Amino acid sequence: MPDPSTSSPKIRVVLAKLGLDGHDRGIKVVARILRDAGMEVIYLGLRQTTASIVAAAEQEDADAIGLSMHNAGHLTLAPAMLAALDEAELDIPVIIGGIVPDDDVEVLLVTGVAAVLGPGAPAADVVAAVRDVVVS
C-alpha cells in the first residue's frame, strides 16, 4: 500500500510535439530519460494542438508539460500554449525542447516558459529541469 508520508509523489509529465513536423526521435528519447528517472510520462506524440495538450494536461493532472519543437515555430506556438493554459486556468509549468536560438531562449523565458532545453541536452539536465520547475 502506498504510504504518502514516506514516498514523494510521482511526477507526471505530459510530453507532446506541438505543430506539424513529423520528427519524434528527440521526444521519445526524453520520454525514456524521464521514465528512467522514475517519472510518469503521458506521451501524446506528434501533431498535437494547444487544445489537445490542454485537455490532456487537465485530465492527467500533469505536474509539467514538455513540448518538443523543431520547426522554428516556438515564438508563436509557445505563447499560444501558455495563453491556452491560462484560459483553462491551469497553472502548469511548460518546458520547451528543441533548436531554439539563444536570443529566443530569453524571449521565451520572459514570456513565461519555465525552461528551455537544447537538442542534445544530457539526461541529467533534462531530469533536473523537470524537477526544478515542478518544485518551484
Partner 1 sequence: MSVRNLPVEELVARALEGNRRAVGRLLTLVERGGTDADEIADLAHQQARGAHIVGITGAPGAGKSTLTGQLTRLLPEMGVAPAVLAVDPSSPLTGGAILGDRIRMDNIAGEGTFIRSVATRGHAGGLALSVPGCVRVFDAAGFDPVIIETVGVGQVEVDVVAAADTTVVVVNPGWGDAVQANKAGLLEVADIFVINKADRPGASDTRRDLELMLDLSHVSGLEDDSGYRPPILMTTATDGEGVAAVWDSVLAHREHLTSSGQLSTRQAARLRYEITNRVEAQLHVEASAAIDRADLSEALSPIKLAAQITDRLLRD
CB of 9 to partner 1, least distance (A): 6
Nearest alpha-carbon partner for 50 in 4, 24, 88, 3: 88
CB of 26 to partner 1, least distance (A): 15
Neighbours of 75 (CB within 10 A): 14
d(Cα 133, Cα 26) in Å, to the nearest integer?
A: 20
**Which parts of this chain interact with partner 1 (CB under 8 A)?**
1-5, 9-10, 12, 31-32, 34-45, 48, 52, 55-56, 58-61, 88-91
The smaller minimum CB distance to partner 1, of residues 56 and 133, is found at 56
The smaller minimum CB distance to partner 1, of residues 85 and 121, is found at 85
The smaller minimum CB distance to partner 1, of residues 49 and 104, is found at 49
Dihedral angle sign, alpha carbons of residues 113, 86, 18, 55: positive
CB of 121 to partner 1, least distance (A): 18
CB of 52 to partner 1, least distance (A): 6
The smaller minimum CB distance to partner 1, of residues 1 and 135, is found at 1
Which residues, 6 or more positions from 89, have their beta carbon under 8 angstroms from its beta carbon?
Answer: none
Burial of 48 (0-12, 13-18, 19+ CB in 10 A): buried
> What amino acid is encoded at 31 in this protein?
A
